[in-house]
């Protein structure tokens, strides 16, 4: 794979966030991992081979699932590869604009992929998904739009013989994990610990699905794919204390996001996708390629033209504290 399209699909914000710039391109929660989590990970015995039982039990308990319905993975990115390896879709559909790794993983495994490309404001009508699609992948809340689809909309995608995969990598940004299908049978839910807990370098996430699907995904996974520290993170981040920490943060995030979205919306020549529900906002600017002047002003933002359905007028901005957002607004004013 080396076409210009594939190169674009492989672009991620980490490439833009070079040292020295204010990083608004990557959506990892600022100030993470917290010291208590660092300590727990540092205490892990690295000489032993990983054993995922405690992680599976902790994640199952967190989401009210059976242990057989949980599979730890080396980041949500690995889960997409396992889905692509384990399933044999006749017609795979990816709902865009969304994170591009699911489409890339499917294609790398030899599957043709059809796109359903939503228009602003990026709400999903289940009827736009072709009836004969037997694999549908959708993000919730979606990267890069920050749109949170109602759980009922996602449930309406289910059909006999169809696998619905919901990428919930940002579900823990939403107070109470509203609209999450993590506790429900009949769908495949992919979760990540890398953003909220600052573990992008560790690679850790998990899949929640019916036991037969989990079995098939596990068969496609290399042995010991998930490291012992990553498994320890699954246990640590499932604790009541960790859940309370995240829930408190979701409310601060909502306030910081409202601050950013309100000020962005007040700028001429700029419109924010509303309502944003994740740790980032998507904006359309009359001016194309705004990421270039912002970069020269010290801000790395995510160019969004590499997402199917978007073009050079779109940028994605991580939600940070109000001081950082105010500085961004000042820089943007000079660019518009
Ligand atoms: C929507 C979405 N899903 C999944 C991932 C991958 O997550 P992980 O770091 O757990 O592989 C990302 C990373 O940016 C993402 O934005």
28-62 confidence digits (pLDDT tens): 999 999 999 999 999 999 999 999 999 999 999 99
Ligand 1 atom closest to 200 (CA) = 9
* pLDDT value for 130: 98
Q: What is the pLDDT at residue 53?
A: 98
CA 4 to chain centre: 24
> Which of these, 104, 69, 110, 70, lies nearest to 89 by C-alpha position?
110
Checking if the pLDDT of 251 tops 70, the result is yes
Q: Which of 77, 190, 225 has most ligand 1 atoms within 8 Å of its beta carbon, as the pocket-test mutant?
A: 77
24 vs 45: CA distance, rounded Å: 35
Ligand 1 midpoint to CA 192 (Å): 7
Q: What is the pLDDT of residue 15?
A: 85
Q: Is 105 in the pocket of ligand 1 (CB under 6 A)?
A: no
Return the pLDDT at 230: 98
pLDDT, average across residues 279-308: 97
Short-list 101, 169, 168, 165, CA closest to 137: 165
* CA of 268 relative to ligand 1 center, distance in Å: 32
* Banded model confidence at residue 27, pLDDT cuts 50, 70, 90: very high
Q: What is the pLDDT of residue 3?
A: 74
How confident is the prediction for the chain on average, in pLDDT? 97
Q: What is the mean pLDDT of residues 15-22?
A: 90
Are 21 and 300 in contact, with CB atoms under 8 Å apart? Answer: yes
Average pLDDT over residues 283-311: 97
**Mean pLDDT for the stretch of residues 187-203:** 98
pLDDT computed for residue 85 by the predictor:
98
* Mutate-to-test residue for ligand 1 from 75, 104, 279, highest number of ligand atoms within 8 A of CB: 75
Reading the block at residue 82, the tokens are: 């396992």
Confidence of residue 2 (pLDDT cuts 50, 70, 90): low
Please tell me the distance between residue 333's alpha carbon and the centre of ligand 1 in angstroms: 31
- β-pairing, 188-192 with 205-208? antiparallel
Confidence of residue 295 (pLDDT cuts 50, 70, 90): very high
Confidence of residue 14 (pLDDT cuts 50, 70, 90): confident
Q: What percent of the chain has pLDDT over 90?
A: 94
Residue 11: is its pLDDT beyond 90? no
């Amino acid at each position: 794979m080396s076409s210009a399209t594939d190169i674009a699909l492989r672009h991620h914000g980490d490439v833009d966030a070079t040292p020295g710039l204010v990083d608004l391109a990557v959506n990892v929660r600022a100030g993470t991992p917290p010291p208590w989590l660092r300590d727990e990970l540092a205490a892990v015995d690295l000489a032993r081979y990983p054993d995922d039982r405690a992680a599976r039990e902790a994640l199952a308990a967190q989401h009210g699932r059976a242990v057989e319905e949980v599979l730890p993975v080396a980041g949500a990115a690995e889960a997409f590869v396992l889905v692509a390896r384990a399933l044999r879709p006749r017609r795979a559909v990816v709902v865009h604009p969304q994170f591009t790794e699911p489409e890339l993983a499917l294609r790398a495994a030899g599957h043709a992929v059809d796109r359903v490309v939503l228009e602003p404001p990026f709400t999903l009508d289940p009827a736009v998904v072709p009836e004969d699609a037997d694999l549908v992948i959708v993000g919730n809340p979606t990267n890069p739009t920050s749109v949170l689809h109602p759980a009922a909309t996602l449930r309406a995608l289910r059909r006999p013989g169809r696998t619905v995969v919901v990428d919930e990598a940002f579900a823990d940004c939403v107070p109470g994990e509203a609209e999450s299908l993590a506790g429900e049978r009949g769908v495949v839910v992919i979760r990540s610990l890398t953003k909220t807990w600052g573990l992008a370098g560790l690679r850790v996430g998990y899949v929640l699905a019916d036991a037969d699907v989990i079995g098939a995904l596990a068969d496609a996974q290399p042995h010991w794919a998930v490291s012992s520290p990553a498994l320890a993170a699954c246990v640590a981040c499932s604790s009541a204390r960790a859940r309370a920490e995240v829930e408190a943060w979701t409310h601060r995030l909502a306030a910081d996001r409202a601050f950013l979205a309100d000020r962005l919306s007040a700028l001429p020549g700029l419109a924010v996708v509303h309502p944003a529900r994740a740790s980032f906002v998507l904006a359309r600017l009359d001016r194309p390629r705004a990421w270039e002047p912002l970069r020269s002003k010290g801000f790395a933002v995510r160019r969004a033209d590499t997402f199917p359905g978007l073009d050079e007028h779109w940028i994605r901005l991580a939600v940070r504290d109000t001081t950082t957002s105010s500085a961004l607004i000042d820089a943007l004013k000079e660019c518009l």
